[in-house]
């Protein structure tokens, strides 16, 4: 490109080459969502070949590209606590829940859909159906407490913090369950909105035995989350409190992650390892959380486990919801990768790495 600029004698040749260079660069960047707000033709052109496509907004000054009449409807603040029953989920629609933070880890709200780029299985979506910030989707949350012998001295802090979390986070349309796990799982209280019943379930748990973390997470997502039947979209999340050390599972770490992804469940992990350095168990918790769009927290004192619960509570109320139709979607049960980024490099998007398409109907 440098030789071309120095040796050409006419600016016309340079001007003619620029669109081609820009097109090649565009193929490596997730297409901005303002370009996918209307359905594309049956055989859409690749993003680099779309005629007269508007350039992405400048990273430092994101500019809305949609006219007011076409913008996604935003939920007025006064309606945040009203139940949502109108979001219908079809097999060819994807509900993507994500969080945006700045470089200091603070949550960023108020962004528009045109501030993001998205690739589903390597292609821009066919259409964007809905985009909302600080979603008030009903919450389906599971509290998984490690009840193995290795955390016996820390168990009361786990119990107290979990109860306080449920008191703060559960709203009218939310439901939660409580479960302990060592070499097997103990469902102390199934899905309910009654905090008193959840409190009783937590207090019934007793520590003792080995640790089958992967088995417990796999079984919980399969039996509690995957079987949920909901008319509208909900947020599924598991709060996993453990040191991450597994010494009894038959399932592998990858098996547990895949089941969480099949169940569309975000995992937030709170480590109970308060030693000065992280160990293998902490790495396990981080890998599970990041693969599902969650986050791992590492308290420096066992008394700070409550801080981890508080951070999760804040994140659950500071999320975005994106509903879209993928291009070239097939009901084949295959895993489809998701690449979602903020066009402003100051912001980081945290979300799941992908999802499993539903299998073809029998």
309-360 pLDDT, tens digit each: 999 999 998 999 999 999 999 999 999 999 999 999 999 999 999 999 999 8
For residues 332-361, one letter each, b for 16 or more C-beta atoms within 10 angstroms of the residue's C-beta and e for the rest, the string is eeeebebbbbbbbeebebbbbebbbbeeee
CB 133 within 8 A of CB 109: yes
pLDDT band at 73 (very low <50, low <70, confident <90, very high): very low
Q: Is 152 part of any domain? A: yes
Shared-domain flag, residues 98 and 164: no
309 shares a domain with 268? yes
Q: So what's the pLDDT on residue 345?
A: 96
Q: What is the pLDDT of residue 168?
A: 94
Q: Which helix (H) or strand (E) holds 322?
A: strand 320-325
Tens-digit pLDDT profile for residues 18-72: 444 434 334 435 667 765 544 433 333 233 333 333 344 434 434 333 223 233 3
pLDDT of res. 233: 81
Same domain, 171 and 257: yes
Question: Between 190 and 301, whose confidence is greater?
Answer: 190
Structure tokens that stand for 237 in this block = 């999340």
211 and 351 together in one domain: no
Nearest Cα residue to 118 out of 37, 45, 176: 37
Q: Are both 113 and 216 inside the same structural domain?
A: no
Shared-domain flag, residues 154 and 96: no
Read off the pTM: 0.78
- pLDDT for the residue numbered 133: 86
Radius of gyration, CA atoms only, the chain: 23
Give the pLDDT confidence score for residue 278 in this predicted structure.
Answer: 86
Residue 96 has pLDDT above 60, yes or no: yes
Q: Poorest-confidence range of 79-88, 100-109, 231-240, 247-256?
A: 79-88
Instruction: Answer yes or no: do 213 and 88 share one domain.
Output: no
Task: Count structural domains, the chain.
Answer: 2
CATH of the domain at 225: 3.40.50.410
Give the burial class of 197: count Cβ atoms within 10 A of its Cβ; 0-12 exposed, 13-18 middle, 19 or more buried: middle
The pLDDT of 146-160, averaged and rounded, is 90
Give a yes or no: residue 292 inside a domain.
yes
Confidence at residue 76, expressed as pLDDT on a 0 to 100 scale = 39
Mean pLDDT for the chain overall: 81
Residue 119 belongs to domain spanning: 30-37+84-135+330-362
For residue 244, what are its two tokens? 């991450």
Quote the pLDDT of residue 36.
55
Q: Given this model, what pLDDT does residue 239 score?
A: 98
> Residue 250 and residue 216: Cα distance in Å, rounded?
10
Residues 251 and 302 in one domain: yes
Query: Rounded to whole angstroms, how far apart are CA atoms 109 and 67?
Result: 21
Q: Are 113 and 33 in contact (CB under 8 A)?
A: yes
**Quick check: 7 pLDDT over 50?**
no
User: Quick check: 222 pLDDT over 80?
Assistant: yes
Q: Quick one: pLDDT at residue 65?
A: 33
What pLDDT, in 10s, does the model give residues 98-146?
999 999 999 999 999 999 999 999 999 999 999 998 667 899 999 999 9
Within this chain, do residues 114 and 253 fall inside the same structural domain, yes or no? Answer: no
pLDDT of residue 90: 67
Q: How far does the chain reach from its first CA to its final CA, in angstroms? A: 55
- Picking from 22, 315, 309, 354, the residue whose alpha carbon sits closest to that of residue 162 is 309
User: Closest by alpha carbon to 325, among 92, 114, 117, 31?
Assistant: 92
At residue 16, the pLDDT reads 46
Of residues 256 and 1, more confidently modeled: 256
Higher local confidence (pLDDT), 4 or 181: 181
For the chain, percent of residues with pLDDT exceeding 70: 75
Beta strands 185-192; 139-146: pairing state: unpaired
Q: Is residue 69 part of a domain?
A: no
pLDDT in tens, 157-190: 899 999 999 999 999 999 999 999 999 999 999 9
Maximum Cα interatomic distance, the chain, rounded to a whole number of Å: 83
Residues 106 and 146 in one domain: no
Predicted pLDDT of residue 64? 32
Residue 88's pLDDT is: 53
The yes-or-no verdict on residue 261 having pLDDT over 90 is yes
Determine which helix (DSSP H) or strand (DSSP E) holds 192, and give its type and residue range.
strand 185-192
């Amino acid at each position: 490109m440098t030789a071309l600029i120095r040796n050409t004698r006419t600016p016309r040749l340079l001007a003619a080459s620029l669109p081609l260079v820009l097109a090649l660069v565009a193929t490596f960047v997730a297409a901005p969502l303002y370009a996918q707000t209307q359905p594309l033709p049956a055989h859409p052109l690749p993003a680099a070949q779309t005629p007269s496509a508007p350039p992405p907004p400048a990273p430092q000054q994101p500019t809305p590209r949609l006219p007011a009449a076409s913008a996604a409807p935003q939920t007025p603040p006064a309606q945040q606590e009203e139940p949502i029953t109108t979001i219908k989920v079809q097999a060819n629609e994807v509900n993507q829940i994500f969080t945006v933070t700045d470089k200091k880890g603070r949550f960023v709200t108020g962004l528009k859909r045109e501030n993001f780029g998205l690739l589903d299985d390597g292609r821009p979506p066919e259409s964007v159906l809905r985009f909302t910030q600080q979603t008030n989707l009903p919450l389906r949350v599971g509290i998984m407490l490690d009840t193995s012998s290795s955390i016996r001295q820390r168990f009361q802090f786990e119990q107290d913090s979990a109860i306080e979390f449920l008191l703060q986070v559960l709203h009218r349309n939310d439901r939660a369950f409580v479960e302990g796990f060592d070499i097997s799982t103990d469902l102390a209280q199934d899905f309910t909105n009654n905090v008193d019943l959840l409190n009783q379930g937590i207090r019934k748990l007793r520590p003792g035995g080995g640790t089958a973390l992967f088995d417990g997470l796999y079984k919980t997502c399969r039996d509690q989350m995957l079987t949920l039947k909901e008319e509208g979209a909900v947020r599924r999340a598991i709060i996993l409190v453990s040191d991450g050390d597994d010494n009894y599972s038959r399932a592998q770490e990858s098996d547990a992650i895949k089941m969480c992804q099949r169940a569309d469940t975000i995992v937030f992990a709170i480590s109970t390892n308060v030693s000065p350095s992280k160990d293998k168990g902490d790495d396990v918790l981080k890998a599970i959380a990041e693969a599902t769009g969650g986050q791992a927290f590492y308290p420096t004192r066992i008394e700070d486990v409550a801080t981890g619960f508080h951070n999760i509570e804040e994140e659950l109320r500071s999320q975005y919801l994106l509903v879209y139709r993928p291009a070239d979607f097939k009901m084949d049960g295959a895993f489809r990768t998701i690449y979602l980024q903020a066009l402003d490099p100051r912001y980081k998007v945290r979300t799941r790495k992908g999802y499993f398409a539903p299998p073809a109907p029998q």
